[in-house]
Amino acid sequence: MAIFNKNSLRQVSGFDNQIIAGELVYNQATYWNLTLTATGTELPIDLTGATISASIIRRQLSNVRDSRYGLTFDIADYSPPPSAVTLTITNKVDAAGTFTLVIDEGAWGVIASDPQLDINAENCVGFSGRIKISYPASGSTPAQDLIIFLLFLVRSDGVIN
């Protein structure tokens, strides 16, 4: 798993926001089981009534390099602007505060001939997005959204390109 430079991650999520970042191999399918707990405790956050959605969009990465403090890069809008890709959320267990985020890079529209997948490409394929957990209003408590930012870098395994 890649180590990301904190300043690079702040380009995507800001200073105090949560982010999940990872480096994937082209056409990799995996998943992440996530558990939401109250800050400073191991107590699960109840997801009853909450709706969870996740989406990502292709981004243009430039100046990608492995520095002493982790991967650094610049991120910008991709041209032409692509459509957002919806990620699958499964296995939601409300009382336990758990759900699964399915990572199926093969469904994201990256093709094997993408020049950013070349084994010698200076800049790899990049996606950013978010998980949005929406809680409805309840009594005097207004509706609230919890956002977790996402960042994925996709690289060639050296076999495809």
pLDDT at position 3, please? 72
Question: Could you tell me if residue 82 is inside a domain?
Answer: yes
- The pLDDT profile of the chain, 161 residues, written as one tens digit per residue, is 467 767 777 767 766 778 888 888 888 888 999 999 988 888 999 999 999 999 999 898 888 887 777 778 888 898 888 889 999 999 999 999 999 999 887 777 777 767 777 777 778 888 899 999 999 998 898 999 999 999 888 877 777 65
Q: Is residue 17 part of a domain?
A: yes
**Domain assignment present for 161:** no
CATH number at residue 94: 2.60.40
- Beta-carbon contacts of residue 67 (< 8 Å; ≥ 6 apart): 5
Nearest to 23 by CA among 3, 49, 52: 3
The span from the CA of 59 to the CA of 108, in Å, is 12
How far CA 123 is from CA of 30, 32, 55, 74, 140, in Å, comes to 23, 25, 22, 10, 49
The confidence score (pLDDT) of residue 99 equals 97
**1 assigned to some structural domain:** no
The model carries a pTM of 0.85
In a domain, 125, yes or no: yes
Q: Which domain range does residue 97 map to?
A: 6-155
Omega before 80 cis (within 30°)?
yes
Number of domains in the chain: 1
